[in-house]
Structures are given as structure tokens and as C-alpha cells.
Structure 1
Amino acid sequence: MPITAGLTLGAGIAATARWAGYDRDRSFYPTVLMVVASYYVLFAVMGGQALSVELAIATGFTGLAWLGGRGRLWLVGVGLLLHGLFDLLHPAVIDNPGVPAWWPAFCAAVDLVLGGWVLLLAGRVRRNGPPPH
């Protein structure tokens, strides 16, 4: 169920962003990446441990978002895909009791859909130039 919900939410976010024109703004998907990365920090605060490691990792994803927002959208797509991989590895490598058991699968599904979508958008931007504002 978490994977199905994540896939549906990821597709819904991409479709809504396209329909509403949010993804025309170069800051939209970098912001999504920063928000996605911040959830594990929230869970560390809730669980009372792993805060420093979760902050360090979120800082790395924020750096990718920043670089991607400066004209390298493909880095945001890669960042989302890497975060999906991180979600899958998280339970085995970081002890954070604040993370709900279903979260890694859910978040990985969202990240993988959005990461793939952003890479497709980045390819279009590269071929056709940026969308009009």
C-alpha cells in the first residue's frame, strides 16, 4: 500500500505542477527536493536520535537542489532518484526510531516518480530551451 500511495502521489504532484504551471519556475522541483530531504530531520527530532547524521544528509540534498536550481535541473532529478535510493537503504544504515515503518517505501516511490519526471523535463529544456514564463 505505501508504494502504491507513493507512486500515485508522485504522479499527482508532477501532473498538478505541469497543469498549474508551477514547474515553469526553476525553483519548484529544487524546493520539492529540499522538502523531501527534510522529513528525516523531522523524524530524528521526533525519535530523539540521529539528528546530526540526518541533518548532514539533508544538507547534501539541499546542495544538489541549490545547484540544480541554478540552471542544472538534471541535478535535481538525480537528487530525487538518489533520495529514493537513500529511502530504501535508510532502515539498514541509520537508526532513527522516529521514522514510521511504512515511510521509506512510500517516500522512495514518490522520489523515483518525481526524479524520473524531472530528468524528462531537464531533457526537454535542454533540447527546446526553458519554458516561457
Structure 2
Amino acid sequence: MEYLVGVILGLAVGGFAATSGFDRDRAFYPTVLIVIASYYALFAVMGESPYSTLAIEIAVGLVFSVFAILGFRKSLWLAAAALVGHGFFDFFVHQALVTNLGMPLWWPGFCGAIDLVIGGWLASRLWKASRTVRREGSLT
């Protein structure tokens, strides 16, 4: 069920961002990535996990935040790749790396699904935009 909810909410976030115009601002998807990556540290605090868990969660969140900043400044493709990468991190790496006592059992599936959908949504928008620019550029 968490996968389905993640996919539906991911589509809703992408659709809302596109229809509202929020995603016209380069900061939108990098900010989403930073917020998503910060939840693990929040769960560590809520679950009163050991400080080592909190330190790992903060360090991993900082790595994804660096990709968000680079995506904002250099290329949104980096933000899309980092969102998808965070989804794979949720599914395959997090549980092997750290035990976070505050993290709900359903969170990795939900977060992984929403990450993959939002990252894929952004990649799709970037790909379509690059094709439009190339097509319009070839007319002149």
C-alpha cells in the first residue's frame, strides 16, 4: 500500500507543480529533494535513536543536499538523478546502513516510490524541454 500511495502522491506533486507553475522556478525540485532527505534525521530524533544514527542520517542528508544545490546551480538533471538515487537509497541501502528507531516500517517503500516518481517526472519535463529547445533552435 505504501508504494501505491507514494506513486499517487508523487504524480500529484509533479502534476501540481506543473499546473501551478511552481516548477518554473529552478529551486522547486532541489528543495523537494532537501526536504525529503531531511526526514530520516527527523525520524532519528523522534525515535530517540543513538547519536551515531542521527549523525549518519545527517551526513547522508547532506550528500543529497549537495546534489540538490548542484542541481539548482548547474543542471536540474543532477537533481532528477539525485531524486531517483534517493529512491534507490530508500529501497536498497538505508536499512543496510543504519537502524533508525523512529522510522516507520512503511517509510522506505513510500519514500522510495515517491522519490522515483518525482525524479522521473522531473527528468521527463527536462527531456521534453530540451527537445522543444532543439526543435525551435533548428527553425532559426
Q: Same fold (TM over 0.5)?
A: yes
Q: Which residue of 2 aligns with 1:99?
A: 103
The correspondence of residues 35-74 of structure 1 with structure 2, limited to 5 A, is 35-48=35-48, 49=50, 50-74=53-77
Name which of 64, 80, 96 aligns with 1:77.
80
What is the letter of the counterpart of residue 75 of structure 1? L
2:39 & 2:85 partners in 1: Cα distance?
15
Please identify, of 120-129 and 60-69, the stretch whose mean Cα deviation from structure 2 is larger.
120-129
1:59 & 1:122 partners in 2: Cα distance?
24
For the pair shown, the structure with the greater C-alpha radius of gyration is 2
Q: CA deviation at 1:12?
A: 0.2
Q: Which residue of 2 aligns with 1:86?
A: 89
1:69 & 1:116 partners in 2: Cα distance?
17
1:95 & 1:112 partners in 2: Cα distance?
23
Taking only aligned residues, the RMSD between alpha carbons, in angstroms, comes to 1.1
Aligned-pair identity in percent equals 47
2:41 & 2:131 partners in 1: Cα distance?
37
What is the letter of the counterpart of residue 47 of structure 2? G
2:58 & 2:97 partners in 1: Cα distance?
15
What is the letter of the counterpart of residue 63 of structure 1? V
Q: CA deviation at 1:40?
A: 0.2
Matched, 1:9 2:9: yes
Q: CA deviation at 1:120?
A: 1.4
2:68 & 2:33 partners in 1: Cα distance?
6
Q: CA deviation at 1:93?
A: 2.3
1:63 & 1:84 partners in 2: Cα distance?
16
Q: Give aligned pairs, total.
A: 129
Alignment gaps of 5+ in structure 2: 134-140
Alignment gaps of 5+ in structure 1: none
Q: CA deviation at 1:124?
A: 3.0
Q: Which residue of 2 aligns with 1:121?
A: 125
Q: Residue 39 of structure 1 aligns to a residue in which SS?
A: helix
Q: CA deviation at 1:121?
A: 1.9
